[in-house]
Amino acid sequence: MRGATRALAMTGLAVAGVAAPATASLGPLRRRLAPRLAGIGDAGHIALTYDDGPDPLSTPHFLDLLEDFGRTATFFLLGAHVARHPDLVIEMAQRGHELAVHGWEHECVLTLGPGRLLSDLRDTATLIEDVSGQRPRWYRPPYGVLSTPALLAARATGLRTVLWSAWGRDWEARATPPRIVRTVERTLGPGGTVLLHDTDRTSATGSWQHTLQASRVLLECWADGPVAVGRLGDHGLRAHRSGTSSQVRGRIGPPQWSP
């Protein structure tokens, strides 16, 4: 069931029925915003992002790997697990990584009301800041499913919503390190944002080990290239400032790009 939901979300079908009327009337706006939602930034930079942590079993391996290559990344965290593993979150921040909001639990935003969405995002952002001293700037909803209440809640929390433009499909049971690497290379374009997972919390059991191996290969490939690799905060994207919720107008539909 979980896999089916994710598969639907990835194709935009899960939200199409909800947002289609709004998006149909806002095509130009959607086209203008889609690259921003996909995290398209500076052409000379790749944003490396990991979702669903922190996880004490797997995340430290990613921190060590990134340190080996002198790289930092953006980690989209779940508030409930930040609460359980604050020391790990402190370490992530101290090692130079950027902390972002993925929600309190890993729930599809379409199942949550506006009040719950707002409290989830605020609680997660506040907890991350209280624990690490780092105020999150980015929000990525679970499964990449967007809704107007979720976008508004993010904006009201001072977070900019960013999905991804490239992925490794590393959550799949059939994902092997070479397959993940090939999928990232096939989907990655200039200024892309790469989605991977530093835990198998919502993925196939043990998949993080494949992602770790794939990450090493990718970092080796990128090590001598002309393109820099790092955090979303260094990707040339503009974050929201707090208190800009009054600037939100209209409705925004699901992202429309080919992964």
104, 80 Cβ separation under 8 angstroms: yes
Minimal distance, residue 144 CB to Zn ion, in Å: 8
**Catalytic: 197?**
yes
Minimal distance, residue 199 CB to Zn ion, in Å: 9
Cα→Cα distances 151→16, 157, 207, 252, Å: 16, 10, 30, 8
Question: Considering only CA atoms, which of 48, 32, 36 is closest in space to residue 188?
Answer: 48
Q: Which is nearer to Zn ion, 51 or 123 (CB)?
A: 51
Q: Which is nearer to Zn ion, 23 or 78 (CB)?
A: 78
In whole angstroms, give the CA distance from residue 217 to residue 180: 10
Among 81, 85, 97, 197, the one annotated catalytic: 197
In whole angstroms, give the CA distance from residue 186 to residue 201: 25
**Catalytic: 51?**
yes
Report the residue closest to Zn ion, judged by CB.
51
Question: Considering only CA atoms, which of 119, 160, 156 is closest in space to residue 139?
Answer: 160
Angle CA(165)–CA(124)–CA(253) in degrees, nearest 5? 40
Among 51, 55, 120, 198, the one annotated catalytic: 51
Minimal distance, residue 171 CB to Zn ion, in Å: 8
Note the residues at the interface with Zn ion (CB under 5 A).
Answer: 51-52, 142
Name the DSSP letter for residue 227.
S
Q: Which is nearer to Zn ion, 23 or 208 (CB)?
A: 208
Q: Which is nearer to Zn ion, 123 or 198 (CB)?
A: 198
Q: Which is nearer to Zn ion, 51 or 55 (CB)?
A: 51
In whole angstroms, give the CA distance from residue 165 to residue 170: 15
Minimal distance, residue 102 CB to Zn ion, in Å: 6
Residues forming a β-bridge with 85: none
Minimal distance, residue 227 CB to Zn ion, in Å: 25
What amino acid positions are annotated as catalytic residues? Answer: 51, 197
